[in-house]
């Protein structure tokens, strides 16, 4: 049971305070929290669950905004954190992003949302579709509409039908002139390559994202060509469990709009699409660096937005780096970023140069970790393939679209 929620700006200012129970939480708790955050260097480093002298605090940081919840009683920590994450998601969805200004400009809406999302410390509704029906979004359309119609209320006149509906995630009866549904496979590859160049860990975290604009109460079935490769799956509440258990078929009545139908994990992949080979040799106070990048396993589509980032170890005084392709930047916080883009056909991109070490240091002892990012459109690297999507309960033939995308998640190469 949460007692209070605060929203703090990135300078520790209380932007919003929502008391949830009779036990009022004094604002001074935020000062205490902020002191802790400052003493830790920055609030990101603070643990998500902290005990203050008077309360237990849960914190979630999004785009510099800290969502802080307080409680004095034992409760599942994940429930509080999960709820705060939902609050952050809903707000960012409503306000078109999160930052200090947008929250201050729309604080009334934030209050209204919190009012519906949690009552007396217990989470109520966090389903964006239902909230959207209760509290109108402050977007341009509604602003224009309010000017035209003269109705300036941002609260819809009617109560959401879905609160009483048996499909709580779906608005009662949406109508579209063009029925369309898009299914995206979005995958992230997490890989760790160790100092010896061995791929120690490589797995894919993927999501099936659906954007549905369908009239009425459609019933969808989605099947995969090779569901057996999935290691673990999690579903949106709309997915029926039995069909999946018996035939690995996703059968569901979709919410309206964009949502995450399913997330999955594929373990133990054998190779990565690109290789990154760093070499560091140090001698007499300088360190020679050479990083080579190339395609290892051609996925069949272009790999683009390749960037290599690494943080220079603190013992390095200066770095001089050049590349034969792309641009190298060294930022003030000692982060070095090499953006390659696409790998050219005729040559393998490489970056080389020297580090000058602190005086007194002969050799480098602390080695940088290279973080690689890339993006491949049109391919799901796990190999997961959508077999077909059937739609029932629809008046006319809808448009169906499929896409796939793989990008690097936590892809790191140690040196």
Within 339-358, the residues that bind another protein by CB under 8 A are: none
- Beta bridge partners, 220, equal 252, 391
In the block, tokens 């306000």 appear at 95
Residue 143 as a binder of another protein (CB under 8 A): the answer is: no
Q: Which residues have a Cβ under 8 Å from the Cβ of 141 and sit 6 or more positions away? A: none
Q: Which member of 148, 245, 270, 333 binds another protein (CB under 8 A)?
A: 245
Q: Which member of 96, 97, 216, 237 binds another protein (CB under 8 A)?
A: 237
Q: Which member of 140, 149, 153, 333 binds another protein (CB under 8 A)?
A: 153
Q: What are the DSSP calls for 124-148, one per residue?
A: ----HHHHHHHB----HHHHHHHHH
Tokens (6 digits) for 202: 């490589």
How far does CA 314 lie from the centroid of its chain? 30
Binding to another protein by CB under 8 A, coded x per residue (else -) over 372-411, reads: --------------------------------------x-
| Complex with another protein: residue 75 or 145, whichever CB lies closer | 75
| Complex with another protein: residue 298 or 358, whichever CB lies closer | 358
- The 8-class DSSP code of residue 60 comes to E
CA dihedral 248, 252, 255, 260 (to 10 degrees): 0
| Contact status, residue 309 vs residue 351, Cβ threshold 8 Å | no
Residue 99 as a binder of another protein (CB under 8 A): the answer is: no
Residue 155 as a binder of another protein (CB under 8 A): the answer is: yes
Q: Which of residues 111-140 bind another protein (CB under 8 A)?
A: 111-112, 115, 119-120, 122-127, 134
Closest approach of Cβ 48 to another protein, in Å? 4
- The 8-class DSSP code of residue 39 comes to H
Q: Which of residues 195-234 bind another protein (CB under 8 A)?
A: 195, 200-201, 203, 205, 231-234
| Complex with another protein: residue 168 or 353, whichever CB lies closer | 168
Whats the size of the chain, residue-wise?
A: 415
Residue 41 as a binder of another protein (CB under 8 A): the answer is: no
Q: Which residues have a Cβ under 8 Å from the Cβ of 373 and sit 6 or more positions away? A: 305, 306, 307, 309, 407, 408, 411
| Complex with another protein: residue 242 or 397, whichever CB lies closer | 242
Q: Which of residues 280-339 bind another protein (CB under 8 A)?
A: 311, 313-314
CA distance 318 to 170: 57
Residue 366 as a binder of another protein (CB under 8 A): the answer is: yes
Closest approach of Cβ 202 to another protein, in Å? 9
Residue 412 as a binder of another protein (CB under 8 A): the answer is: yes
Query: Rounded to the nearest 5°, which phi and psi values hold at 31?
Result: -65, -45
Helices (H) and strands (E) in the chain, counts: 7, 23
Give the count of residues interacting with another protein (CB under 8 A). Answer: 99
CA distance 86 to 92: 10
Q: Which of residues 45-84 bind another protein (CB under 8 A)?
A: 45, 47-54, 56, 59-61, 72-79, 81-84
């Amino acid at each position: 049971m949460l007692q209070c929620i605060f929203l703090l700006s990135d300078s520790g200012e209380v932007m919003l305070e929502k008391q949830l129970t009779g036990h009022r939480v004094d604002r001074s708790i935020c000062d205490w929290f902020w002191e802790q955050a400052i003493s830790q260097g920055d609030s990101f480093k603070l643990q998500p669950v902290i005990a203050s002298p008077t309360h237990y605090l849960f914190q979630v940081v999004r785009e510099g905004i800290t969502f802080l919840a307080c409680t004095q009683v034992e409760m599942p920590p994940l429930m509080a954190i999960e709820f705060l994450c939902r609050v952050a998601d809903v707000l960012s969805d409503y306000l078109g992003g999160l930052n200090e200004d947008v929250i201050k400009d729309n604080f009334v809406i934030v209050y209204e949302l919190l009012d519906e999302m949690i009552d007396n410390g217990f989470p109520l509704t966090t389903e964006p579709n239902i909230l959207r029906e209760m509290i109108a979004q402050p977007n341009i359309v509604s602003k224009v509409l309010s000017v035209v119609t003269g109705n300036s209320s941002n609260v819809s006149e009617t109560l959401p039908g879905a609160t009483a509906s048996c499909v709580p995630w779906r608005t009662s009866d949406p109508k579209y002139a063009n029925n369309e549904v898009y299914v995206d496979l979005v995958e992230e590859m997490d890989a760790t390559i160790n100092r010896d160049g061995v791929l120690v860990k490589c797995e894919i975290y993927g999501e099936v994202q659906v954007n549905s604009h369908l009239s009425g109460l459609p019933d969808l079935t989605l099947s995969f060509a090779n569901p057996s490769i999935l290691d673990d799956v999690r579903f949106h509440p709309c997915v029926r469990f039995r069909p999946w258990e018996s035939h690995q078929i996703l059968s569901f009545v979709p919410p309206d709009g964009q949502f995450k139908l399913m997330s999955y994990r594929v373990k133990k992949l054998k190779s990565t699409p690109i290789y990154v080979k760093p070499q560091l040799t140090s001698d007499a106070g300088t360190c020679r660096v050479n990083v080579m990048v190339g395609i290892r396993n051609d996925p069949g589509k272009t790999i683009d937005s390749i960037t290599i980032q690494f943080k220079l170890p603190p013992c390095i005084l200066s770095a001089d780096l050049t590349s034969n392709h792309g641009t190298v930047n060294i930022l003030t916080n000692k982060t070095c970023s090499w953006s390659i883009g696409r790998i050219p056909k005729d040559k393998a991109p490489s970056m080389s140069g020297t580090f000058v070490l602190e005086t007194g240091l002969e050799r480098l002892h602390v080695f940088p970790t290279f973080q690689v990012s890339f993006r491949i459109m049109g391919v799901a690297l796990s190999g997961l393939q959508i077999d077909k999507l059937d739609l029932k309960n629809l008046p006319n033939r809808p448009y169906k679209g499929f896409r796939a995308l793989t990008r690097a998640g936590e892809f790191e190469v140690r040196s």
